[in-house]
Amino acid sequence: MTTLEMDSVPRLRRGVRLSYDQTRETHVLLFPEGVLVPNPTAAAVLGLCDGAADVTTIAAALRERYAGVREQDILDVLSRLGDRRIVEWT
């Protein structure tokens, strides 16, 4: 696995889908091994992992919506999700 950096381009791994569960009123990650309910921060990051935007672009988009966005926090979230094989990056 390559190291995640600011110019890395994250995307959801094949078979992983982020969707909104109307019953639970929250986002859920569906993948072959199960279901994960990400916290709102992780859901916001995952919603921008389209395989085209790098981490710098994702951070800029999140700054337009939220105050106090730090690149390191985004890298930490993506790294944890990478460890769980939810996201991959180039």
Which helix (H) or strand (E) covers residue 34, if one does? Answer: strand 34-36
pLDDT of 87 reads 95
For the four alpha carbons of 9, 74, 77 and 36, in that order, the dihedral sign comes to negative
The domain segmentation of the chain, as residue ranges, is 10-89
Sequential pLDDT tens for the chain (90 residues) = 468 999 999 999 999 999 999 998 999 999 988 899 999 989 999 999 999 999 999 999 999 999 999 999 999 999 999 998 999 998
Residues 30 and 21: their CA atoms lie apart, in Å, by: 11
Could you please state the CATH topology (level 3) that the domain comprising 10-89 is classified under. Arc Repressor Mutant, subunit A (1.10.10)
Phi, psi for 21 (deg, rounded to 5): -90, 110
pLDDT of 24 reads 87
Residues 74 and 78: their CA atoms lie apart, in Å, by: 6
For the four alpha carbons of 1, 37, 42 and 47, in that order, the dihedral sign comes to positive
